[in-house]
Structure 1
């Protein structure tokens, strides 16, 4: 790398500051830490370049005005007493260049050196006309508040640009929700929202928000529907967040809005079911969905002032203004969150109902703590320009918004299952919109929907397991084989099945299948089955101790808990339960209960022994089922044992059977 860098040295040698990495003024005294030729030499031997507070001070005193500006910026940004700073060009990983500061508490704070003129698409390294800094990214100074004219003008531009996107066009131009709130300019009274019903086709917006303690007080009820239709709804009576949404839509020229609490009669069960079943159409056909992404408390504004986090100017080079700012979190669809606590940063986006609102909306305008963020099917944008800089690595594109048609159903399950719901009976209704959208794309019939899984994709989703500690079993009427019957993050076994055959199913619904109105549900399948016993609590501890006296080790299952275990033949193994067994109610499982273990997968592990030979161990993936009293060959699932019991040991104890799981 060093030889290539040297080959690019300009005839007229330049000198770059070893601390700030800007070009040195001609009159500045040279220091041993400085770089000559090209500033990229600072990274010839390492992927980063460090400097200390002492070097920054020394460089400032010798005449480097950029180091003086950087020291001043650190004061304003609250990191003046840092321990070490590190320039990170991030050449070999997705993401824009950064400056990482280790503060006095050993915490790492991340900053960006930005210019609105910085190049996109490739790093500055090895370019003939290099930018004025080695660790520079495209960035813009944002508005002081997400509700000022500049911010809302930017939102209007995003909307206008998106209206020309081919992928983002409306699918059903004739669809309109049963009720809308009218806030248009055709009315002289601008202090009241009108509840209007059965309109012909009109553009409308939808609101995605988290209910708070003040939301029920303005909800639409049967007792006030007629009065509100006749006299309207005073805007001043709405929560502040909703008042702000009205202001935004006025600015964007959208005259109608759909808000769940105000457009569904909340105390009318049939109206709620009917309108909730239309969620896919409501969000997919909205001209825009406004997301109150940072709001989670009563009396909160949609807008937020972040003037205390303003960027700090560092330099102007050839008319190009360069500034430093603290790096802000940005939402993505990646499984790896951009922040340590995304539920605090974007509390709206962690909720169960909001998953389908975000996934189904063609266009979404997020109001976050720091800036406006735009999502549509062709682009993701923000006021600060972070997405522009971080999209240069094409592999990151899967982290951004895609339509349901572009996702596998198991991916939908993974994204949704971990999201909490206030009312657990909403487990399937809150997913119904995505289910309907998926059915329309793939040509599925509602009768093929099996309590959160599609019959034609059953092999990919039936063998799910929790990836977090078990919770109490929720009191909802769903079969035990459905992932929706438990609470928590789940994964699905998607490799080849181990001699499993599905022989039929029978799920009976009282109403809309996708809304989860189930009466009964069973699935029949056959495979290799072995008998065992399940233990938990003190009895499991005593069983383990007794086995230890006989020289029997406890096999540890992948993702298992220490509180429960099973005995299969002479083997003891921990496993991952679907829910807590020690709670009263339908989820209670007596320690010492008979179980059956159904083999559904295998995993191969190759290790090198002490003499250097390769040893292959094949372990099993097993579904744990318990028999129902008085119903021969009918079982309910209670957990999964992964990667601990050797396959050949299991097979010696098993026989092939057909089972009915309910």
Structure 2
């Protein structure tokens, strides 16, 4: 018999008058802790399908779902509820395989379901994950004092309502009121208004017009962050700018922008900033001028609306109906008591990016797009209409409707720390996140984060070099392709079709990257990084007026350091994408190139035909190219890290002769060579090599 005890309802604990269940412990942390101290309690559950244990912040019960089903027949009200929850979340149950972890904490009660069969059967899918148990806020008024006392240990939480509901609107208004009235760090300087705004009809009459702001404009405005998608979005262009100023009907706008106008009106405001309509899209001058002001536009917005659940402008975020699976239960013995089981929110603040390609949870569409990264970081305050719920963040707090703790790896406040080394680490972290995202126009790689770059420059005074910071250039040059990224296949790695960045910048390739501070420990206290190369001068050729925007071919760094020339490159290897090998000293070394390479021939200064290597424009899914014999590259030592034990790492840039300038080099990849003389892995000696000056394109 599966039931771990013959009588589920036990005699009261020493200090309690109510009966308690020795399977679920009445979902009460205090009872569970007292029960564990009761003589003989741990011996009552001999069956291998049940275990219970306390830990510092709570108590965990691990049992087969079948135990709950048998316990309910013995009269436990809580097991009756749990049985219904099991039927809701694991409809395809097996007799003995499905289990659950019941977590009792001081501030939450939750179940982690582990179904033996997660597959869909007859259209029903078993749920795997966390379900939270709570009493809805609006149910407390109907409870008797006795019931309220008996269920006081069950957390009280608000229900998550549809985004177009009155409750959601009130939630936003409450967040906004608290922030504007009590958060000193969220105070704003409204001295620099956007050049244009949409004027929303004050009375909600559906009229909209494009409004050019005067210099002394100081009224609050809302900004919208959204995915354009592939739909034909109404845009401001030279041909229609005057008609937009005269006014048009709101219904001409795509759904997401209509929703933003409605939220603006509901908040009692009348100005909305939308990039498609407030920037003249076919004017290069206006586009560059306004995109360079993204930092101030989002910083100064009274609120930024992030249409996180919409994958295109024509998809409404207010009418998004999906919400976490929920089961409501009115306790028969106490009709005034309502218990709710709700699947955890898994998007936005709560998204687990480490779960990888197999993750059944799709991220919010806006978290996949390049432009929307800075649009989520720059705002003083923002409300995200996420797939599961409304989520708020400002310069002071981050919160959400489900009231669960947000993940620490998110980047809403990534640039708020005043320490410069920490700012560097946070910038590097942001680059790693940004490199994973997509852009409709790949040449927007720098403009789409120019606002964040401006913010870093404003905070630190650092000089910007095509995605890198001059004051920490050696660190910055040590980025590498992320070869084991959970969401990105190697076959998706490619070269941009058009030039957008010099080869030394992470923006020169289309793939996830790992920056030095994000992936290595040379900034730790017991390790010192020594710079073996230095910047002589930089020449970044800008395409427009934005110093953090697009750059032109010919952008270069002139550096001095030790260069090992005429190193033969072999490969690729068969076991890893774009992995090549060289011999340095007595070491045979494999390195992963930034992208697959190919041999090219050129005439050297001596008039002889020579072979070097360059990045290949051939797409990765077309197969790798075998390098020709005699393909020569150069190895540039730029730094080494040494710890107190004499071991450490040497850092090299692998360089090929530039196809466009045979007197210059282009980056092929980076090699980090571990050195441990105690085990025979010696440091590569560059001491006899002269310092050389090289140009890096």
The TM-score bracket by the shorter chain reads 0.7 to 0.9
2:501 matches 1:478: yes
SS at match of 1:164: helix
What is the aligned-residue RMSD (CA, Å)?
Answer: 3.9
Task: Name which of 111, 117, 125 aligns with 2:131.
Answer: 111
2:220 matches 1:178: no
CA contact (8 A) 2:637 2:650 kept: yes
The equivalent residue for 1:246 is: 261
Q: Tell me the distance in 1 between the aligned counterparts of 2:312 and 2:135.
A: 36
The equivalent residue for 2:458 is: 440
Q: Tell me the distance in 2 between the aligned counterparts of 1:68 and 1:139.
A: 21
2:464 matches 1:460: no
Q: Tell me the distance in 2 between the aligned counterparts of 1:287 and 1:161.
A: 13
The equivalent residue for 1:506 is: 538
CA contact (8 A) 1:498 1:599 kept: no
CA contact (8 A) 1:333 1:398 kept: no
The equivalent residue for 1:123 is: none
Q: Tell me the distance in 1 between the aligned counterparts of 2:634 and 2:149.
A: 67
CA contact (8 A) 1:206 1:283 kept: yes
Q: Tell me the distance in 2 between the aligned counterparts of 1:257 and 1:361.
A: 14
The correspondence of residues 246-265 of structure 1 with structure 2, limited to 5 A, is: 246-265=261-280
SS at match of 1:344: coil
Q: Deviations over 1:442-501 (max 9, x none)?
A: 234xxx221112222323322211113472222324221111212222223242434413
Q: Tell me the distance in 1 between the aligned counterparts of 2:211 and 2:134.
A: 48
The equivalent residue for 2:632 is: 594
SS at match of 1:513: coil
2:662 matches 1:627: no
The correspondence of residues 577-656 of structure 1 with structure 2, limited to 5 A, is: 577-582=593-598, 587-588=615-616, 591=628, 592-601=630-639, 618-628=648-658, 634-643=664-673, 648=682, 650-651=684-685, 655-656=689-690
Deviation at 1:35, TM superposition (A): 6.8
Task: Name which of 222, 225, 234 aligns with 1:205.
Answer: 222
Q: Tell me the distance in 2 between the aligned counterparts of 1:174 and 1:39.
A: 72
Q: Tell me the distance in 2 between the aligned counterparts of 1:586 and 1:90.
A: 58
Q: Tell me the distance in 2 between the aligned counterparts of 1:308 and 1:411.
A: 30
2:422 matches 1:422: no
CA contact (8 A) 1:181 1:194 kept: yes
Cα distance, 1:75–1:151 mapped onto 2, change above 3 Å: same
Deviation at 1:356, TM superposition (A): 0.9
The equivalent residue for 2:695 is: 660
The equivalent residue for 1:27 is: none
The equivalent residue for 1:354 is: 372
The equivalent residue for 2:582 is: 566
Task: Name which of 212, 217, 231 aligns with 1:214.
Answer: 231
SS at match of 1:245: helix
Q: Tell me the distance in 2 between the aligned counterparts of 1:130 and 1:605.
A: 60
Deviation at 1:335, TM superposition (A): 8.1
2:413 matches 1:402: yes
The equivalent residue for 1:161 is: 178
The equivalent residue for 1:344 is: 362
The equivalent residue for 2:396 is: 378
2:564 matches 1:530: yes
CA contact (8 A) 1:627 1:636 kept: yes
Deviation at 1:572, TM superposition (A): 3.3
SS at match of 2:634: strand
Task: Name which of 290, 296, 299 aligns with 1:275.
Answer: 290
Q: Tell me the distance in 1 between the aligned counterparts of 2:39 and 2:159.
A: 28
Deviation at 1:162, TM superposition (A): 1.1
SS at match of 1:439: helix
Name the stretch that deviates more: 579-588 or 221-230: 579-588
CA contact (8 A) 1:16 1:36 kept: no
TM-score (norm 2): 0.75
The equivalent residue for 2:609 is: none
Q: Tell me the distance in 1 between the aligned counterparts of 2:643 and 2:115.
A: 43
SS at match of 1:650: coil
Deviation at 1:112, TM superposition (A): 1.1
How many residues in Structure 1 have an aligned counterpart in Structure 2? 591
SS at match of 2:259: helix
SS at match of 2:437: coil
SS at match of 1:421: coil
Cα distance, 1:334–1:165 mapped onto 2, change above 3 Å: farther
The equivalent residue for 2:100 is: 86
Name the stretch that deviates more: 201-210 or 475-484: 475-484
Cα distance, 1:257–1:458 mapped onto 2, change above 3 Å: same
The correspondence of residues 80-159 of structure 1 with structure 2, limited to 5 A, is: 81=93, 83-89=97-103, 97-106=109-118, 108-115=128-135, 137=155, 139-143=157-161, 145-159=162-176
Cα distance, 1:628–1:335 mapped onto 2, change above 3 Å: farther
Which stretches in structure 2 are left out of the alignment for 5+ residues? 1-12, 29-34, 43-50, 119-126, 138-147, 418-422, 484-489, 523-527, 601-612, 617-624
Task: Name which of 209, 229, 242 aligns with 1:194.
Answer: 209
